[in-house]
C-alpha cells in the first residue's frame, strides 16, 4: 500500500511536466504577443520589454549565452550549464516547479501570475466549498429517500431532479435560474465588489448552481448503491434481529453506501474547475475562473498558461487523493492491491 | 406424447424432422434482445423520438425556417421584437406570428436561427464521435491484446489527459489555432472536431483496452486460440463484437459532452465564429444564441430562453438514450 501510494504521488510530477509543456508550446505558437495594443508600441519599447521578461531568449537551449560566457572567461561548469539552459522553455519549466509562473503581461509585470492566483483563487475556492457542501447535503438525502421509497413519487422526483442536473449543463441551468429570479423577484446578479470579501451570502446562489451537477451525480450514485445494499444479507440479518429501522439505515446501510461517493471526488474536482470558469462569468464573481476568461480576451498568455497548469495540478492531486482514499474506506480494495 | 409431437411438428418450420423438438420461435440474438429491452424503456424511447425529430429539423431547416437566419430585418434591428404571444405598446416590438420567437438585436428571426442551430449541435456531436471511435477502438484493441509498450504508453497518456481539464485544453487550442487556416474552416467547426477528438479518444481507447484485457482470458477466445485462430480473427470475431455494447454506450455519452463543449466555448466567445454569409449551411449555433441572449435578456427574454431550452432538450434526450442503451447493452455499471 505504501509503495503504491508513493508511486501514485510521484507520478503526478511527469503529468504536470507534460501538461505544462503542452500548454507552453500551444501558447507559444499562438498569434499575437503580450505587447499588442490598439496603438502599436515603438519597436525599441517592445525590444526593451522582451529583454526585461526574457522573451528574446531562444526557445530550447541557449548556446549563444555559453559562447558569451566563454569569451568573458567563465570556466565554471555550473555557470556554463546555467547559461546553456537559459531558454524560454526551460526557464518556464523550472519556474513551474518553483511556483514561479512568470509576470502577468497585462499588468505590465507589476503582478506575477502566482500572486494573481493567490489573490483570485480564494473566491473560487469558497464557491467550490459552497458547491461541495450543497451537493453532499442535498444529494445524499435525496438519494437515500429515493432508494428507501423506491418507485414512489419521491423516487421519481429525486430521479427526475438528478437526471436534469446531470444532463443539463450548469451554464444553461444557471442562466435560466438567473433569468427566472431577475424577472420574478427583480434579482440582480450584479453585486458590490465588497460583498465578495469574506464569506457572505453573495456566494450562496453561484455556489449552489455550481454544485447542481455534482449534487445530481451524488444523488444518483447514492440511490444506486443504497438499492444494492438494501438487498444484502447483512441488512436482512440486522432487521431480523430486531434493530430499529433508523439504526439499520444509518449504521448498516449508509456507512457502506457512502463509499462510492468518494470516488466521484476526482471528476467532481474537474467539474467544479470548469464549472467555476462559466459560473463566475455569469454571476460576476471575481474569482480565478473569471480572471481566466478575461485573460483570454486580453491575450494575457502567461495568465492563461499559469492558470491552466494550476488547475491541472489541482485535478491531478484530487485524482491521487481519490485513488489513495479507496484503500482507506474500503478494506476489500486494499487487499487486492 | 405423440399428440404433442405432432402438434409441434405442425408448427415447426418444414425442414424440422417430424417428432423432434423444433424451435417454436426464431432465436433471439443479443442485439434483438437489447432492442426489445430498449424499446420497453419509455424514457429512452422518448429521448430517441426527440433526437429523430431534431435530426429532421436539422435536415429540413431551409423548409421549416420562416426567414433566412442571417438576413437582418432592418425595420426591427436594435428593436428586439418580442415573442409572438407577448404584446407591447410599440408596433415594432410587439409580438407577431411571422416571428414566432421574436427577433434578436440585428433584427434576425430567433426561431429560424434556433432551427438552423440544430445543425451545428448534431454535427458537432456526431462527427467527433465517429473520429474518436475510428482512432480509439483499434488502439484500445491492440493495447489490450498485445500489451507491452503501446499499452504502457496509452495508460500514461490517459493519465495526462485525465489531469487536463478538458475545457481548459479546448480554450488553449482555440487561442492557439483559432486564427490559422485550419481554425477558420467552417467558422472554426473543423478545429472543434479536432480538439474534441484529441481529448476524447483516450477515454474510448482505455475502455476498449479494459474490455479486451478481460475478454481475451474468456474460454471462448481461448478456444478460438487453441483451434488456431489468428490474432486478427480472435479480435475481429470474438473480442470486438463482445466489447461493442460498452463502446456504443460510451459513444452515446460522448455526443452530449461534445455538444455542451461547443455551446460553452461559443458562449465564452472563443468557439465558432458568427457567419454573415446568407447561404451558409451552418449559420449559427445555440451557444452563440445564448451568448447574445445573455446580454439582451432584459429586452427579449426568449433570445436566451429558446436556445437554453434547446440545449437542455438535446442533452436530456441523449442522457435518456444513453441510459437506455446502458441498461440494454452494458449490465456492468448502472448508475
pLDDT of residue B235: 87
* Chain-chain contact of A316 with B175 (C-beta, under 8 angstroms): no
Q: At what angle do helices B302-329 and B286-295 cross, to 10 degrees?
A: 140
Q: How far is B168 from chain A (nearest CA, A)?
A: 6
> Is the CB of A19 less than 8 angstroms away from the CB of B297?
no
**Lowest-pLDDT range of A113-122, B96-105, B191-200, B295-304:** B96-105
DSSP A105: G
The complex scores an ipTM of 0.80
Lookup: cell for A218: 451524488
Q: Is residue B1 predicted with pLDDT exceeding 60?
A: no
For the cut 90, the answer to whether the pLDDT of residue B53 exceeds it is: yes
Q: Which three cell numbers stand for residue A199?
A: 464569506
Instruction: Identify all chain B residues contacting A278, using CB atoms and an 8 Å cutoff.
Output: 264, 267-268
- What whole-number distance in Å separates Cα of residue A82 and Cα of residue A53? 17
CA–CA min distance A41, chain B (Å): 22
Alpha-carbon span A78 to B190, nearest angstrom: 48
pLDDT over 70 at B122, yes or no:
yes
Higher pLDDT, A322 or B241: B241
Q: Which residues of chain A have pLDDT under 50?
A: 335-337
How far apart, in whole angstroms, are the C-alpha atoms of residue A30 and residue B177?
A: 7
- Distance of alpha carbon A146 from the chain centroid: 30
Q: What is the pLDDT of residues B89-99, one digit of tens each?
A: 776 777 777 77
Lowest mean pLDDT among A193-202, B5-14, B259-268: B5-14
Q: Rounded to 5 degrees, what are φ and ψ at B279?
A: -105, 15
In this prediction, residue A194 carries a pLDDT of 72
pLDDT of residue B21: 59
Mark out the alpha helices in chain A (DSSP H runs). 2-10, 12-28, 43-53, 63-71, 77-84, 88-97, 113-148, 153-167, 170-184, 204-230, 233-240, 245-247, 255-257, 259-263, 265-283, 288-297, 301-329, 331-336
A278 and B319: CB-CB below 8 Å?
no
Q: Per the CB < 8 Å rule, is A273 touching B318? A: no
Q: Is B102 exposed, middle or buried (0-12, 13-18, 19+ CB in 10 A)?
A: buried
pLDDT at B316 over 70: yes
Which member of B163, B173, B260 has the closest CB to residue A169? B260
Mean pLDDT of B297-325: 86
Cα angle A90, A96, A100 (rounded to 5 degrees) comes to 105
pLDDT at B9 over 50: no
Whose grid coordinates read 426591427?
B76
**Which residues have C-beta within 8 Å of that of residue A148, sequence separation ≥ 6?**
A226, A249
B277-292 average pLDDT score: 82
CB A302 within 8 A of CB A105: yes
Q: Does A125 touch chain B (CB under 8 A)?
A: no
Q: φ, ψ for residue A112 (rounded to 5)? A: -85, 160
Partners of B256 on chain A (C-beta within 8 Å) are 167
Kindly report, residue by residue over A216-269, the tens digit of the pLDDT: 888 888 888 888 888 888 888 888 888 888 888 877 787 777 777 777 777 787
Q: Across the interface, do B308 and A293 touch by the CB < 8 Å criterion?
A: no
Q: Which of A105-114, B216-225, B250-259 has the lowest mean pLDDT?
A: A105-114
User: Cβ(B41)–Cβ(B327) under 8 Å?
Assistant: yes
According to the model, what pLDDT value does residue B52 have? 94
Spatial separation of the C-alpha atoms in residues B131 and B254, rounded to whole Å: 11
Instruction: Give the pLDDT score at A34.
Output: 66
Residues 6+ apart with CB under 8 A from B29: none
- Residue A289 to residue A276: CA distance in whole angstroms: 6
Q: Which of residues 236-265 of A touch B (CB under 8 A)?
A: none
Residue B23: band (very low, low, confident or very high) from pLDDT cuts 50, 70, 90: low
Residue B20: predicted pLDDT: 57
Contact B268 A168 (CB under 8 A): no
Amino acid at each position: 500500500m505504501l509503495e503504491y501510494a508513493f508511486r501514485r504521488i510521484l507520478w503526478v510530477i511527469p503529468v504536470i511536466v507534460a501538461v505544462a509543456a503542452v500548454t507552453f508550446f500551444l501558447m507559444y505558437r499562438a498569434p499575437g504577443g503580450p505587447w499588442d495594443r490598439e496603438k502599436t508600441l515603438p519597436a525599441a519599447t517592445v525590444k526593451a520589454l522582451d529583454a526585461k521578461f526574457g522573451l528574446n531568449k531562444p526557445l530550447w537551449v541557449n548556446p549563444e549565452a555559453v559562447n558569451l560566457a566563454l569569451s568573458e572567461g567563465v570556466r565554471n561548469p555550473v555557470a556554463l550549464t546555467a547559461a546553456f539552459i537559459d531558454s524560454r522553455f526551460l526557464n518556464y519549466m523550472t519556474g513551474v516547479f518553483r511556483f514561479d509562473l512568470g509576470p502577468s503581461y497585462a499588468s505590465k509585470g507589476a503582478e506575477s501570475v502566482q500572486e494573481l492566483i493567490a489573490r483570485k483563487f480564494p473566491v473560487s475556492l469558497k464557491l467550490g466549498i459552497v458547491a461541495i457542501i450543497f451537493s453532499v447535503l442535498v444529494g445524499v438525502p435525496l438519494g437515500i429517500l429515493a432508494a428507501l421509497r423506491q418507485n414512489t413519487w419521491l423516487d421519481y422526483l429525486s430521479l427526475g431532479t438528478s437526471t436534469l442536473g446531470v444532463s443539463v449543463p450548469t451554464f444553461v441551468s444557471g442562466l435560466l435560474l438567473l433569468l427566472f429570479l431577475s424577472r420574478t423577484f427583480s434579482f440582480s446578479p450584479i453585486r458590490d465588489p465588497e460583498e465578495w470579501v469574506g464569506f457572505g451570502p453573495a456566494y450562496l446562489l453561484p455556489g449552489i448552481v455550481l454544485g447542481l451537477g455534482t449534487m445530481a451525480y451524488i444523488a444518483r450514485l447514492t440511490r444506486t448503491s443504497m438499492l444494492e445494499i438494501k438487498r444484502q444479507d447483512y441488512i436482512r440479518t440486522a432487521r431480523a434481529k430486531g434493530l430499529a429501522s433508523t439504526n439499520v439505515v444509518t449504521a448498516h446501510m449508509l456507512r457502506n453506501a457512502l463509499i462510492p461517493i468518494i470516488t466521484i471526488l476526482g471528476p467532481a474536482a474537474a467539474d467544479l474547475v470548469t464549472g467555476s470558469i462559466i459560473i463566475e462569468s455569469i454571476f460576476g464573481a471575481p474569482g480565478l475562473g473569471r480572471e481566466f476568461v478575461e485573460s483570454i480576451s486580453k491575450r494575457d498568455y502567461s495568465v492563461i498558461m499559469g492558470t491552466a497548469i494550476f488547475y491541472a495540478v489541482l485535478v491531478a492531486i484530487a485524482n491521487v487523493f481519490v485513488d489513495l482514499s479507496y484503500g482507506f474506506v474500503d478494506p476489500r480494495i486494499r487487499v487486492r492491491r | 406424447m405423440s399428440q404433442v409431437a405432432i402438434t409441434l411438428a405442425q408448427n415447426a418450420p418444414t425442414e424440422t424432422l417430424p417428432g423432434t423438438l423444433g424451435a417454436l420461435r426464431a432465436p433471439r440474438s443479443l442485439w434483438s434482445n437489447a432492442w426489445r429491452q430498449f424499446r420497453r424503456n419509455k424514457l429512452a424511447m422518448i429521448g430517441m423520438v426527440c433526437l429523430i425529430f431534431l435530426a429532421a429539423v436539422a435536415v429540413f431547416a431551409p423548409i421549416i425556417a420562416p426567414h433566412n437566419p442571417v438576413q437582418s430585418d432592418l425595420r426591427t434591428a436594435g428593436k428586439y421584437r418580442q415573442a409572438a404571444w407577448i404584446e407591447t405598446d410599440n408596433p415594432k416590438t410587439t409580438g407577431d406570428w411571422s416571428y414566432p420567437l421574436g427577433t434578436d438585436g440585428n433584427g434576425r428571426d430567433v426561431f429560424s436561427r434556433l432551427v438552423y442551430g440544430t445543425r451545428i449541435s448534431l454535427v458537432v456531436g456526431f462527427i467527433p464521435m465517429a473520429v474518436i471511435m475510428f482512432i480509439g477502438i483499434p488502439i484500445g484493441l491492440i493495447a489490450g491484446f498485445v500489451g507491452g509498450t503501446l499499452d504502457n504508453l496509452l495508460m500514461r497518456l490517459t493519465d495526462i489527459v485525465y489531469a487536463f481539464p478538458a475545457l481548459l485544453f479546448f480554450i488553449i487550442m482555440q487561442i492557439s489555432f483559432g486564427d490559422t487556416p485550419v481554425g477558420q474552416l467552417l467558422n472554426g467547426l473543423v478545429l472543434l472536431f479536432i480538439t474534441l477528438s484529441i481529448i476524447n479518444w483516450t477515454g474510448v481507447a482505455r475502455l476498449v483496452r479494459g474490455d479486451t484485457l478481460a475478454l481475451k482470458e474468456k474460454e471462448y477466445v481461448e478456444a478460438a486460440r487453441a483451434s488456431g485462430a489468428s490474432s486478427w480473427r480472435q479480435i475481429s470475431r470474438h473480442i470486438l463484437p463482445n466489447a461493442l455494447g460498452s463502446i456504443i454506450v460510451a459513444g452515446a455519452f460522448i455526443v452530449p459532452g461534445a455538444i455542451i463543449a461547443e455551446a460553452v466555448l461559443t458562449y465564452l466567445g472563443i468557439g465558432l465564429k458568427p457567419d454573415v454569409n446568407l447561404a451558409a449551411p451552418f449559420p449559427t449555433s445555440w451557444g452563440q444564441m445564448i451568448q447574445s441572449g445573455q446580454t439582451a435578456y432584459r429586452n427579449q427574454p426568449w433570445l436566451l430562453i429558446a436556445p437554453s431550452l434547446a440545449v437542455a432538450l438535446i442533452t436530456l434526450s441523449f442522457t435518456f438514450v444513453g441510459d437506455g442503451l446502458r441498461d440494454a447493452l452494458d449490465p456492468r455499471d448502472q448508475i
